[in-house]
Amino acid sequence: MAEGPEGEGRLLAGFDAGQTHTTCRLARLQGDGQLQILGEGQGPGVSHLAASGGKARFSEALSASLRRAGGEAGWRPDLAAATVGASGIEQGTAVQERGAALAAAALGLPAQRVLVTGDERTALRGALGDRQGPGVGIVVISGTGCIALGRNPAGREHRCGGWGWLLDRSGSACDIGRDALALSLEMADGRRPMTPLRESLWSQLDLPATVQDNTAEEITAQRIKALVVDAGFGAAGFARLAPTVDALAAAGDPEARSVLTASARGLADLVQGVARALGMEQVRVCGLGGALTHLPCFAAAYGAELQHTLPGAEPVAARGDACDGALWLAADALLRPR
């Protein structure tokens, strides 16, 4: 592939690596600095690099999604630069260094042409930025987990949240599912009045079926306790319950509504924390992620809480997504003076 004086025609890859799946988008950098999108592919999700099997999952997610993106584009990609936005990557840490080394090996690129960073940074660039830079404002992401990142006019950045499902308190699909399931157990043991929440949530749980005397084993609080501590359940297991909670709230279940309101307030608090740290009262805010996209009651509750918590917030639509942001960051690496 021919290379122009500033990388014209060079092939870039942008990755959005989440806990559920990984997306790779391929693009060619044009002579006018714009990107020509060529293909996109999906791969498995990633986990924290320090978790058991985390390194292998990370490498496979990148390799698989790149293969599929190349297949859609019609060739085996020969990359010039790449950026990976992944959950759990902290700036300036050993984890980021390990991720960069793994990505360089998986993609066949020199280390200086690979950037591995948090997915909140690729989301910020894609949502509010362009070829010239990340733009000014705040992105808040609510998916399996949640995080907010902002940038002020002076170029200073600040982040709130993103500490993982064991430490973050509210704002994500995981939190919604976990908190609602906890309430259902309080209903089961008599601490809280029964609502349709308990039966609806328990029916969604993928409990191992055992049959004794041709009778399926009853779902009990004890079996749920054992299920949620299983290594295969984790944040994604709780997050899968969030759509049921959202639907129950829409139908008027008071406990489901209380869970969504509390989580929406926590998400708005992330935005307020970023705005306060950056000294921004009038600020553009872009909400992203599956929870805000696919849970309408939660999204409405978040919108109301944001206006109450930060009246100067101006909700805006994203210019692009995290893969777009990753591609722009990859272009930065390609065009950086050597």
pLDDT of residue 5 exceeding 50, the answer is no
* Range of lowest pLDDT (25-29, 49-53, 195-199, 263-267): 49-53
Average pLDDT, integer, range 266-271 = 98
pLDDT of residue 134 exceeding 70, the answer is yes
Residue 117: both structure tokens together = 């960073």
Average pLDDT, integer, range 194-201 = 95
Mean pLDDT of the chain: 90
pLDDT in tens, 216-243: 568 899 999 999 999 889 888 999 999 9
According to the model, what pLDDT value does residue 91 have? 85
More confident site: 110 or 47: 110
More confident site: 16 or 74: 16
Residue 310: both structure tokens together = 């930060």
Residue 221: both structure tokens together = 């609080």
Specify which residues 288 forms β-bridges with. Answer: 141
Average pLDDT, integer, range 288-311 = 97
Find out whether 334 and 12 touch, Cβ atoms under 8 Å. yes
Q: Where are the beta strands (DSSP E) in the chain?
A: 11-17, 21-29, 35-44, 81-86, 114-118, 137-142, 146-151, 157-161, 211-212, 215-216, 283-288, 313-315
Sign of the alpha-carbon torsion through 113, 105, 21, 49: negative
Tell me the HSE value of 177 on the side-chain side, using a 13 A CA sphere: 26
Domains of the chain and CATH, by start: 11-130+319-335 (3.30.420.40), 173-315 (3.30.420.40)
Average pLDDT, integer, range 289-297 = 96
Find out whether 21 and 31 touch, Cβ atoms under 8 Å. no
According to the model, what pLDDT value does residue 75 have? 63
Residue 123: both structure tokens together = 């989301």
The percentage of residues in the chain with a pLDDT greater than 70, rounded to a whole number, is: 92
